Amino acid sequence: MKKIITYICFFLLLTTLTGCYGYRQVGLLQERDNLPQYDSAAYEPYRLQVNDEIIYRVVTMDETIAKTLSANSSGAGQYANSYRIYSDGTVDIPFLSPVKLVGLTELEAQDTLRKAFREIIPDADVKLAMYNKTFTVLGDANSGTYNIYKERMTIFQALAMTGDLMNSGDRRHVRIIRPHGNDEPEVLEFDIRTNSIIDSRYYYVYPNDLIYVSRDKGSFYKQPSYSGFLGLITSSVSLLITVLNYIPGVW
């Protein structure tokens, strides 16, 4: 009888220790010595790659030219249709020779396009933006493709758009797969729980990033909430008592 009670107590203790997600497992911005410490890295603006798409608008005081440009666009006063960067790094813009934009930031590409237009329109001003400014999330999060709505979007802001990570997500090995044009994509793996991720090379999300969150191997034995945890204990103890009642001489 004493052995049975000991086994029951041991079982409950084991379930208590492993049955729920603790702050150390799922909490963000933790400051602990046993977590990875990442070095700070200067922010690098995104540079246009092959297959990226741009949109632009040309502003000029010449009404005849303005009407011609508007007729070629999707609507007067609006951005024109998107234009893809081809494998040779150029885009085909109406009225211009192919313009090389690959490897440039948005501001650099805007200046390059402005200079090209001013060769035929002396007072031309150009506003340019990247069209396919998105990132993708897969794994134990709300998977999908989301728009990057601001410059310097952080990993926390990006994941907040998805509704945060699931408790079962492995926060120790979050991966970002970052393409680099025609070159091999870069795979960045990091522990998102550590406070040192701020201003590190893992902190900012770039266009075309794929964020992958794998499932924690120990998540099978855990409950997402304390109510589920208590329910698991109650049902387990009830099952154990029922089984013991069928064993002659136990009680």
Q: What is the CATH number of the domain that holds 30?
A: 3.10.560.10
Domain identity same for 181 and 57:
no
Domain identity same for 156 and 196:
yes
What residue numbers bound the domain in which 115 lies? Answer: 53-130
- Using a CB cutoff of 8 Å and minimum separation of 24, what contacts does 39-47 make? 39/200, 40/199, 40/200, 41/199, 41/200, 41/201, 43/152, 43/204, 45/105, 45/106, 45/107, 46/105, 46/106, 46/130, 46/206, 46/207, 47/102, 47/103, 47/104, 47/105
Residue 239 located in a structural domain: yes
**Residue 250 predicted with pLDDT over 70:** no
Radius of gyration of the chain (CA): 28
Residue 115 located in a structural domain: yes
Residue 251 located in a structural domain: no
Domain identity same for 180 and 240:
no
Residue 229 located in a structural domain: yes
Q: pLDDT digits over 90-141, tens only? A: 999 988 999 999 999 999 999 999 999 999 999 999 999 999 999 999 999 8
Residue written as tokens 């092959």?
50
Residue 199 · residue 40 · CB < 8 Å: yes
Residue 193 located in a structural domain: yes
Q: Please report the pLDDT score of residue 77 as a whole number.
A: 43
Domain identity same for 158 and 38:
yes
Residue 76 located in a structural domain: yes
The secondary structure element, H or E, covering residue 60 is none
- Give the residue from 106, 115, 125 showing the smallest Cα distance to 57: 125
User: pLDDT tier at 64 (50, 70, 90 boundaries)?
Assistant: confident
Phi, psi (5° rounding) for residue 236? -70, -45
Residue 250 located in a structural domain: no
Question: Measured between alpha carbons, how far apart are the two ends of the chain, in Å?
Answer: 7
Q: Tokens representing 227?
A: 């109510």
Residue 114 located in a structural domain: yes
Where does residue 77 fall: left (phi above 0), alpha (psi -120 to 50 degrees), or beta otherwise?
left
Domain identity same for 73 and 40:
no
Return the CATH number at 95. Answer: 3.30.1950.10
Work out how many domains the chain is built from and give that number: 3
Strand partners, 178: 186
User: pLDDT tier at 47 (50, 70, 90 boundaries)?
Assistant: very high
Domain identity same for 144 and 35:
yes
Domain identity same for 162 and 231:
no
Domain identity same for 35 and 153:
yes
Domain identity same for 125 and 141:
no
User: pLDDT tier at 236 (50, 70, 90 boundaries)?
Assistant: low
Domain identity same for 120 and 140:
no
Residue 184's Cβ-side half-sphere holds a number of Cα atoms within 13 Å equal to 3
Domain identity same for 139 and 211:
yes
Domain identity same for 213 and 144:
yes
